[in-house]
Structure 1
Amino acid sequence: MTQRYQLFINNEWVDPLSGLWFDTLDPFSGEAWAEIPRANKEDVDRAVEAASAAMDGPWGTMSATDRGLLLHKLGELIEKNADNLTLAESRDNGKLSSEVGGQVRYMAKYFYYYGGLADKIQGAVIPMDKPKVFNYTRYEPIGVVATITPWNSSLLLTAWKIAPALCAGNTIIAKPSEHTSASMFELAKLFIEAGFPPGVFNVITGFGNEVGEPLVTHPKVPRIAFTGGDEGGKRVNLLAAQHLKRVSLELGGKSPHIIFDDADLTRAANGVITGIFSAGGQTCMAGSRLLLQEDIHDEFIERLLAIAGKAKLGDPTRSDVQVGPVATRPQFEKIMEYIQIGKDEGARCILGGNARTGEGFGAGQFVEPTIFVDVDNSMRIAQEEVFGPVLAVIKFKDEADAIRIANDIRFGLAAGIWTKSLHRAMLMSEKIKAGTVWVNNYRSTSFTTPFGGYKDSGLGREGGIEAVKEYLETKSVWISTDLDMPDPFVRKY
């Protein structure tokens, strides 16, 4: 039997006004396992009114310290209920249970971190160049924040947004991908248990034109936090700009993973495998372009083939499986199209390149770990985000050549560098245009540090103290200490 969810608005479970639900599918079995409410504009209005009212209610008058305690309590409940959250998300997006479980447990730390930070957001007294004036700054919440997140890591990417936004005193309307909504409802249950006031956290589910656009354009939603593809991000930014809304966008990437001839090749090979084949390549930070210095090219490829060729595909709930199914059928078809494009462009496929079907592979949404060599950086498989387990290998000569190739892309989310040279590490970190640069490691993230991209990879940052600033308004307050009435016709500059 399938489970039927309801919308979560104002701490209540309510049916969508449309009276409609749609199925969410298990990517491994291909079968429907839950029914998701199909919300519309009127449901968005209900959620916005609840979130707006909460800003003027108990949440808006709560001390920052008490807000922080609620966030900490939520983190505890996430850890306590990690298995249930993991099951919902893994069943929705097909990622390995082991990986999703790690993400969920780490996600709790975001709420601990921002819970501790809530009562440490301090303004400042400004030394003034004007006599008899006292000036200070204060930080205030923006208001209702709409979070729109994709299907690959629904819970974690939502936590990146809502933890700092709640820390800053805002309220939330979460709109997860229509493909992976179930885990967001399971998270909503924990908000009630933690004791959050009504309206602070709301969940609206459905499709972009029916829910996403009304949410982005709603006059009472001043702040949009979006993670997804670059085309979707451009659409969100365009709609939000018409209403002068504040927007953060965490978009796509085509990140260069650069291996120099002095690197520890064993560690580097493991890092490359982690960077592209973990999560089946379905991550924005995937190291999907491998730049190899010419004289180690052949040896390094042999190392990759020895590791990737043994990867076990199958049921993501099994502990011995290393690569799960692609999350959605359209994404599976897109990946297979790009593999064909790579072959047509003249790149040489030396590993994988096929779908995996048959016994043990469920509905057949499996793509073998795929490696292309003889890739030119101008090829589509080097320039466009595949979002799958497909690695494009490109040779380079020296540092200048690696920098040129790495930056010859419209994306700038992340990059990886493997070298034993401090000079090279510093030079490459400075010259590569990307929001995150990993040296001798890859795909690490933390609640303590900002994450975001250059160029078409997005706007704004998530993580660390900087993320809180993304959800605050800065107010400058001027208080006159002059007891004499000033001349009304003389302006003091």
Structure 2
Amino acid sequence: MTKYRLHIDGDWVDPDGGEWLDTYDPYRGEPWAQIPRGNGEDVSRAVRAADRAMTDGPWAGLSASERGKIMRNIGDLVVKNAERLAEIEARDNGKLLAEMRSQLVSISECWYYYAGLADKIEGAAIPIEKPNTFAFTIREPIGVVAALTAWNSPLWFVAVKCAPALAAGCAVVVKPSEFASASTLEFAGLMKEAGLPGGVFNVVTGLGPEAGAALVEHQEVAKITFTGSDATGARIYETAARTMKRVSLELGGKSPNIVFEDADLDGAAAGVVAGIFGAAGQMCSAGSRLLVHNSVKDVFTEKLLRLAHDVRLGDPMDPRTNVGPIATPPQYQKVLHYIDIAKAEGARCVLGGKPAVGPGLIGGQFVEPTILVDVTNSMRIAQEEVFGPVLSIIGFDDEEQAVRIGNDVAYGLVAGVWTKSIGRAMRMSKALRVGTVWVNTYRTYSYMVPFGGMKRSGMGREQGIEAVNEYLEIKSVMISTDDDAPPNLFVMR
């Protein structure tokens, strides 16, 4: 088995406690590597290294253009190592290799994008009302950033969190999920080759209550960016408030995919199936609630059943596979538990609904693509995030009702709208309380477009130019240009 070490201050080091954790291949159901079990001392070493890099090290003395060149080198190395990184992540969390190959292209382009933004961070001169006073603003890096990433897309989260942070001039300490840390550690191994000074990018792996909590609580961390569940996000937010840390939270979703009677029903059906069964439903943006106009609900459901029936489960490395395994044993049990809850509350299962077994489905962590009907929006299956391949179908009669049902959850991450009416598309985009609305498409991401949620789906934005601002402080400077006697400073001017 591969045995990884922590990446701190540009070097590979053993964990302080001398312990490692097994990391499992969810397809085969067996350990394939070991990751360090980091603790609070390891976190302190990494945070101190990051702080030194920002204050005394070479990183602090580099121009923004020089930082951008190093970040471009990182993008080049992602391209060079894309196949290896894709295979490691697919093995570590069960994501389809085909999807990871595509995602690695976006990850490299994300690093290029923020490399180009590094020297575009500008302040402004402000023509204020006070005479003989020159006022301007400058933007400075916020400080050491703690990046806590989820297990479903580790390298993507590293890119959308760390690339804008580095563009802003910050240094980072990454704490990946203990269920999928290998690809982040492999990525860290590229930093020295890229020319990144030691201490700018650190990785401390381990358990959340040990390494994760120590990182969130550390006094020298200025900013926390977290992707994960809303319950964990709320605890991080509460802890961060005690020391006034800045926080960005990208949390859960219970997203509505809304199909109107005038939609291209075949295209919408394909979008709905991909939006809930892609990545085995293990994505915060999963379209887990299908809201469909009652006049076409039965016809549309039949289209879904035909498409979903042909979804192929299997080895994530096999290009013929559409849906891989559930990434972790606890998540596997959670998905099955929610299906049982839905049935107990009166939902009717018309597809799937149980563990998937058969040739090639080894490891014991596959769930059949599941479609539930007779669902009301008050049921737990419609209100709580499942994070699995489970679709709930809910009917509606008009736009007003669709908006009301769509917004009637604690989350507000994304929504899909399927219609041929541009007017309806605009009205729905305005009325839905979510951070992203996809019209006649779904799961369409771009590192250039801000992404984040409303309500319990979080705060702050990743991706796009706005993401850099999450890692900057604005400082105002006012300089008197008056050559006469000093003013009376006891009088506010």
- Could you tell me how far apart the structure 2 residues matched to 1:188 and 1:197 are? 12
Residue 36 in structure 1 maps to residue 35 in structure 2: yes
- Could you tell me how far apart the structure 2 residues matched to 1:336 and 1:139 are? 49
- Could you tell me how far apart the structure 2 residues matched to 1:106 and 1:376 are? 38
Q: 1:83-162 maps to which residues of 2 (within 5 A)?
A: 83-162=83-162
Counterpart code for 1:26: D
- 1:354 offset after TM fit, Å? 1.1
Contact 2:16–2:41 (8 Å) recurs in 1: yes
Contact 2:70–2:196 (8 Å) recurs in 1: yes
Tell me which residue corresponds to 1:454: 454
- Could you tell me how far apart the structure 2 residues matched to 1:60 and 1:485 are? 38
- Could you tell me how far apart the structure 1 residues matched to 2:102 and 2:220 are? 36
Contact 2:106–2:447 (8 Å) recurs in 1: no
Q: Which runs of 5+ in 1 are unaligned?
A: none
Counterpart code for 1:323: V
Tell me which residue corresponds to 1:347: 347
Tell me which residue corresponds to 2:7: 8
Q: 1:19-418 maps to which residues of 2 (within 5 A)?
A: 19-56=18-55, 57-418=57-418
- 1:488 offset after TM fit, Å? 3.0
- 1:106 offset after TM fit, Å? 1.1
Contact 1:134–1:481 (8 Å) recurs in 2: yes
Helix, strand or coil at the partner of 1:34? strand
- Could you tell me how far apart the structure 2 residues matched to 1:153 and 1:463 are? 15
Residues 257-288 of structure 1, C-alpha deviations (whole Å, 9 max, x = no match): 00000000111011101110000000000000
TM-score (norm 2): 0.99
- Could you tell me how far apart the structure 1 residues matched to 2:308 and 2:431 are? 30
- 1:365 offset after TM fit, Å? 0.2
What RMSD, in angstroms, separates the aligned Cα atoms of the two structures?
0.8
- Could you tell me how far apart the structure 1 residues matched to 2:41 and 2:357 are? 43
Counterpart code for 1:25: Y
Helix, strand or coil at the partner of 2:295? helix
Contact 1:252–1:413 (8 Å) recurs in 2: yes
Helix, strand or coil at the partner of 2:336? helix
Helix, strand or coil at the partner of 2:249? strand
Helix, strand or coil at the partner of 1:404? helix
- 1:87 offset after TM fit, Å? 1.1
Q: Which runs of 5+ in 2 are unaligned?
A: none
Helix, strand or coil at the partner of 1:437? strand
- Could you tell me how far apart the structure 1 residues matched to 2:491 and 2:99 are? 63
Tell me which residue corresponds to 1:473: 473
- Could you tell me how far apart the structure 2 residues matched to 1:209 and 1:258 are? 39
Helix, strand or coil at the partner of 2:205? coil
Residues 225-277 of structure 1, C-alpha deviations (whole Å, 9 max, x = no match): 00000001001101101100000000000000000000001110111011100
- 1:143 offset after TM fit, Å? 1.2
Helix, strand or coil at the partner of 1:139? strand
Helix, strand or coil at the partner of 1:371? strand
- Could you tell me how far apart the structure 1 residues matched to 2:485 and 2:207 are? 60
Tell me which residue corresponds to 1:17: 16
Q: Summarize the Cα distance change of 1:98–1:23 in structure 2 as closer, same or farther, 3 Å threshold.
A: same
- 1:114 offset after TM fit, Å? 0.4
Residues 157-213 of structure 1, C-alpha deviations (whole Å, 9 max, x = no match): 121100100000000100000000000111001111101001010000001111111
- 1:485 offset after TM fit, Å? 2.4
Q: Percent identity?
A: 57
- 1:487 offset after TM fit, Å? 4.0
Contact 1:358–1:364 (8 Å) recurs in 2: no
Contact 2:403–2:431 (8 Å) recurs in 1: yes
- 1:358 offset after TM fit, Å? 4.2
